A and B are shown apart, each in its own frame.
Chain A
Amino acid sequence: AQTVTQSQPEMSVQEAETVTLSCTYDTSESNYYLFWYKQPPSRQMILVIRQEAYKQQNATENRFSVNFQKAAKSFSLKISDSQLGDTAMYFCAFMKSSGSSNTGKLIFGQGTTLQVKP
């Protein structure tokens, strides 16, 4: 069974600085997808970034980028130029690649609460 581990329950960062959130996962699959989701106080989970395991290039979305280390099974999220609106809980998630008839299932880590301080 796949597992996702986020070892940092809470983190804080000063506004405009950079912060990195850690995530490791365990799987025997060779092809899969990794995600970072953000859950602000409004409670809605918002997709931040997505990575396909067969792509070596790290995904980026504006101020958000990942460091994907497949051999180490590590998938960290870097937030640059942190903004107050980045304050939220961040979840790392794993989905194994499924056949055309199967529905992929997202498996989440425990989450990291990030506080951006003014």
Chain B
Amino acid sequence: ETGVTQTPRHLVMGMTNKKSLKCEQHLGHNAMYWYKQSAKKPLELMFVYSLEERVENNSVPSRFSPECPNSSHLFLHLHTLQPEDSALYLCASSQLRGSYGYTFGSGTRLTVV
């Protein structure tokens, strides 16, 4: 399988649940990203991992916890979310400097009830 794969495609969770989003890339990239896409808002960069180290955390609440165990996999662990966290969560990968752009997955549509 090629490209960037995100699972699950849809997720509905209660505010007290714990869940994880998974992202996998088979492109040989060494940087990975999490973005949040809400209606009527620009895409918000949440986290950046470069060579498996977190290099950016854009003031994201601690109820979102990223994990990058290797250069091919990226997780976003979710706990005690709020309804306003409902959004499309997009994963992307790139070569280190990203100057040729990112390759995105199809996202996970998260609904918090």
Residues of A participating in the B interface, judged by any CB pair closer than 8 Å: 4, 33, 35, 37, 42-47, 50, 91, 95, 97-98, 100, 102-111
Interface string of B67-103 (1 = CB under 8 A from A): 0000000000000000000001010101011111111
**Contact A50:B100 (CB < 8 A) given known A42-B106, A91-B43, A103-B50:** yes
What are the residues of chain B within 8 A of A35 when measuring CB–CB?
A: 101
Tell me the bound Cα distance from A37 to B101 in angstroms: 9
B31 to chain A, nearest CB (A): 5
Tell me the bound Cα distance from A98 to B95 in angstroms: 12
Tell me the bound Cα distance from A52 to B113 in angstroms: 44
What are the residues of chain A within 8 A of B99 when measuring CB–CB?
A: 33, 95, 97-98, 104
Tell me the bound Cα distance from A33 to B100 in angstroms: 8
What are the residues of chain B within 8 A of A46 when measuring CB–CB?
A: 104
Tell me the bound Cα distance from A91 to B101 in angstroms: 13
**Cβ-defined contact, B101 with A102, below 8 A:** no
Interface size classification for chain B: 20 to 34
7 residue pairs from A and B, CB less than 8 Å apart = A45-B104, A100-B97, A103-B50, A103-B55, A104-B98, A106-B101, A110-B42
**Cβ-defined contact, B42 with A95, below 8 A:** no
B107 interfacial contact with A, CB 8 Å: yes
What are the residues of chain A within 8 A of B40 when measuring CB–CB?
A: 110
**Cβ-defined contact, B43 with A108, below 8 A:** yes
What are the residues of chain A within 8 A of B106 when measuring CB–CB?
A: 42-44
What are the residues of chain A within 8 A of B97 when measuring CB–CB?
A: 98, 100, 102-104
**Contact A103:B96 (CB < 8 A) given known A43-B107, A45-B104, A109-B42:** yes
Q: A95-B99, A104-B94 are in contact. List 12 more A-B contacts (CB 8 A).
A: A37-B101, A43-B88, A44-B104, A45-B104, A97-B99, A98-B98, A103-B97, A103-B98, A104-B97, A105-B56, A105-B98, A110-B40
